[in-house]
Amino acid sequence: MSDSSARESATSGFGETFAGWCALVAIVLFYLAMGPGFGFIPPLSPLLSAEDFARHYSERAVAVRIGSVMLMTGAALMFPLFGAMSAAMLRMKGRPLALSATQLGTAIVTFAPLFMSSFFFAAASFR
């Protein structure tokens, strides 16, 4: 084993482990943001009027703001996992570069709405 391949495998092991732990923290943050933060767990009754719905979230403005920050942080912590997955795909023999680039691009596009929704919740909580 050459020095460069040994260094690459050692570095990728730490990076992929770090990415896995980041994803685990992100999942916990998603749960905390959606449950105690936004009050999505348990879901609100569909029979609530618009005024009751607005009152529910206006009374929880601080929790919604904290939940928005947790959701943004959780979404950001998923990106190391996407990068590690793309790097692992690049190391596979016989796989084209386009496959890894497509995986990374679709991961970013998939999480963009989640990241943006946290901005919308934060903005609505200041209203």
Q: What is the DSSP string of 82-108?
A: HHHHHHHHHHSTT--HHHHHHHHHHHH
Domain boundaries, the chain: 3-125
pLDDT, tens digit (0-9, with 9 covering 90-100), for 1-10:
554 554 455 4
The predicted pLDDT at position 30 comes to: 92
Cβ atoms of residues 68 and 118 within 8 Å? yes
The predicted pLDDT at position 7 comes to: 47
Name residues of the chain where pLDDT drops below 50: 3, 6-7, 10
The predicted pLDDT at position 10 comes to: 47
